[in-house]
Structure 1
Amino acid sequence: MLSPTKKTKKTGTPFRAAGTFSAAVALALALTGCAGHDTTAPSSARAAAAQARFGTADCRQAKCIALTFDAGPSENSARLLDILKERQVPATFFLLGKRHIEKYPELVRRMADEGHEVASHTWDHKILTRLKPAEIREELERPNKEIERLTGRRPTLMRPPQGRTDDTVHDVCRELGMAEVLWSVTAKDYTTNDSALIQKRVLAQASRDGIILLHDIYDGTVPAVPGIIDALRERGYVFVTVPQLLAPGKAEPGKVYRP
Structure 2
Amino acid sequence: MLALAHPTPFLRRLAGLVVALGVAWLQPAPAQAGDTETAAACGKPVYLTFDTGHMGVAPLIADVLRREQVRVTFFAANEPTRTGGASMDDAWAPWWKARAAEGHEFASHTFDHVYWRGDIAGGAQASFKVRPSAGARAGQQFTMTAAQYCGEIRKSEDRLREMTGKEPLPLFRAPGGKTSERLLAAARSCGYAHVGWAAAGFLGDELPSDRFPNQRLLEQALKNIRSGDILLAHLGIWSRQDPWAPAVLEPLIKGLKERGFCFRTLREHPDYAQWTRKR
| Structure with greater Cα Rg | 2
Unaligned runs of 5+ in 2: 1-37, 80-85, 119-128, 130-143
Matches of 1:154 and 1:117, distance apart in 2: 7
Contact (CA 8 Å) 2:171, 2:275: kept in 1 or not? Answer: no
Quick one: which amino acid aligns to residue 178 of structure 1? Y
Q: Is the 8 A contact 1:215 1:221 kept in 2?
A: no
Q: 190, 193, 196: which is aligned to 2:206?
A: 190
Determine if contact 2:52/2:235 at 8 Å carries over to the other structure: yes
Deviation at 1:92, TM superposition (A): 1.0
Give the drift of 1:72. Answer: 4.1
Q: Hey, what does 1:135 align to over in structure 2?
A: 148
Alpha-carbon distance in 2 for matches of 1:177, 1:73: 29
In the alignment, which residue of structure 2 is the partner of 1:109? 97
Given the superposition, is the C-alpha separation of residues 81 and 110 from structure 1 closer, same or farther in structure 2, using an over 3 Å criterion?
same
Counterpart position of 2:63: 82
The answer to whether the aligner puts 1:173 opposite 2:184 as a matched pair is no
Tell me the equivalent position of 1:257. none
Q: Distance in 1 between matches of 2:40 and 2:172?
A: 23
Q: Counterpart of 1:22?
A: none
- Tell me which stretches of 4 or more aligned residues in structure 1 moved more than 4 Å: none
State the Cα distance separating 1:197 from its structure 2 match.
2.7
Report the counterpart of residue 76 of structure 2 in structure 1: 95
Check the 8 A contact 2:203/2:232 in 1, yes or no. yes
Hey, what does 2:13 align to over in structure 1? none
Query: C-alpha separation between the residues in 2 aligned to 1:142 and 1:151?
Result: 14
Q: Which stretch of structure 1 is more off in the superposition, 168-177 or 227-236?
A: 168-177
| SS across alignment from 1:107 | helix
**Match of 2:169?**
155
- Residue 124 (str. 1) matches residue 138 (str. 2): no
Contact 2:93/2:164 (<8 A) preserved: no
Residue in 1 that maps onto 2:249: 225
Contact 2:110 2:156 in 1 (8 A): yes
**Paired residue for 1:204?**
223
Q: Return the alpha-carbon distance in structure 1 between the equivalents of residues 259 and 45 of structure 2.
A: 11
Structure 1: where are the runs of 5+ without partners?
1-54, 254-259
Query: Would you say the 8 A contact 1:66–1:240 is kept in 2?
Result: yes
Please give the per-residue CA displacement for 1:212-238, whole angstroms capped at 9, x wherever unaligned: 111121362222111101111111101
Please, what is the CA RMSD of the aligned residues?
Answer: 2.2
Structure of higher RCO (CA pairs closer than 8 Å, 6+ residues apart): 1
SS at match of 2:269: helix
CA deviation after TM superposition for structure 1 residue 188, in Å:
2.2
Residue 95 of structure 1 deviates from its aligned partner by: 1.1
Q: C-alpha displacement at 1:251, in angstroms?
A: 4.3
**Displacement of 1:186 after TM fit?**
0.7
1:144 aligns with 2:157: yes
- Which whole-Å deviations, capped at 9, do the CAs of 1:48-105 have from their partners, x for residues lacking one? xxxxxxx64544xx11111111124713111111111111111111111242112521
* Residues in 2 aligned to 1:140 and 1:172: alpha-carbon distance in whole angstroms: 11
* Distance in 2 of aligned mates of 1:197 and 1:120: 30
Q: Does 1:237 align with 2:261?
A: yes
Distance (whole Å) between structure 1 residues aligned to residue 219 and residue 274 of structure 2: 30
Q: 1:209 to 1:140 in 2, by over 3 A?
A: same
Aligned residues: 196
TM-score by length of 1: 0.68
